[in-house]
Structure 1
Amino acid sequence: MSSQDEIFSRKSAQARSARMVETIYGCKWSLTVYQLLANGINRPGQMVRSVEGLTTKVLNECLRKNMEFGIVERVAHNEVPPRVEYAITPFGEKFIRILDGLEKLQSEIASER
């Protein structure tokens, strides 16, 4: 068999990574949360106050999804009153770079039209 006769198997998207991208892009607040965290706004109350239209319920749901995927981590401080902060994980930093690449690709597609 020559190299030109090589047979390739069908390639499909990895189920978990495809679901992760779809879920995060489907959540209209995830990208905003990443932007808040990048700007040092890491406490839930401060996040809600910083973005018009963002509610505590929606923020908690968004953060929970991101924690399930390992993109964001919850840091609970042992203090009175309790203090909770959120941070991007090392995996999350890699994932956000991929999202940035998708955004750049979308900008290139839009500029070609």
Structure 2
Amino acid sequence: MPPGKPKFIPLADRKNYHRFEDVIGCKWSSSVVAAVAGGVTRPGELERFIPGISTKILNERLRKLVDFGVLTRSEQPGLPARVDYGLTEAGKKLATLLDQVRLLNLEHPAPES
């Protein structure tokens, strides 16, 4: 093993990886981030835009992405109240990375079985 190379991942790094995986590693999170990056900002629109996502899962993902600092949530007064989501600076970076992963996936499709 080369000098200076760690023999294991430190606990603090593992915790950060696990937290990241919990939020971003969910199959729905990348779809939500990509949709918001594409201009779909309201919960009802997101639910219609992302086939197969339930209201419960969408709300859970939105909450986690806001808590993680990827999305912002803004409420507009009125009846009914209007809620919009947007990307933070970190969310914009993540959206760019997710798009690069999507393009890489298109360049290297999975072999047919």
Alignment of 1:66-81 (within 5 A): 66-81=65-80
State the alpha-carbon separation in 1 of the partners of residues 32 and 75 from structure 2.
18
Identity %: 34
Q: How many residues align?
A: 106
Amino acid at match of 1:93: K
Letter in 2 for 1:40: G
- C-alpha deviation, 1:100, in angstroms: 4.1
Counterpart residue identity of residue 69, structure 1? F
RMSD: 2.7
Stretches of structure 1 that go unaligned for 5 or more consecutive residues are 1-5
- Structure 2 length-normalised TM: 0.72
Per-residue Cα deviation, 1:45-82 (whole angstroms, up to 9, x for no partner):
11112222111111001111111110011111122220
* Structure 2 unaligned regions, length at least 5: none
Query: What is the alpha-carbon distance in structure 2 between the residues aligned to residue 17 and residue 98 of structure 1?
Result: 18
2:79 and 2:61 mapped to 1: Cα distance? 26
Q: Greater shift after overlay, 58-67 or 48-57? A: 48-57
Structure 2 match to 1:23: 22
Q: Is 1:12–2:27 an aligned residue pair? A: no
Superposition pairs of residues 12-91 of structure 1, within 5 angstroms = 12=9, 14-15=13-14, 17-91=16-90
Determine the C-alpha separation between the residues in 2 that align with 1:93 and 1:67.
13
Q: Give, in whole Å, the separation in 2 of the partners of 1:51 and 1:105.
A: 21
User: Shift of the alpha carbon at 1:31?
Assistant: 1.2
* TM-score, L = length of structure 1: 0.72
1:38 deviates by 1.8
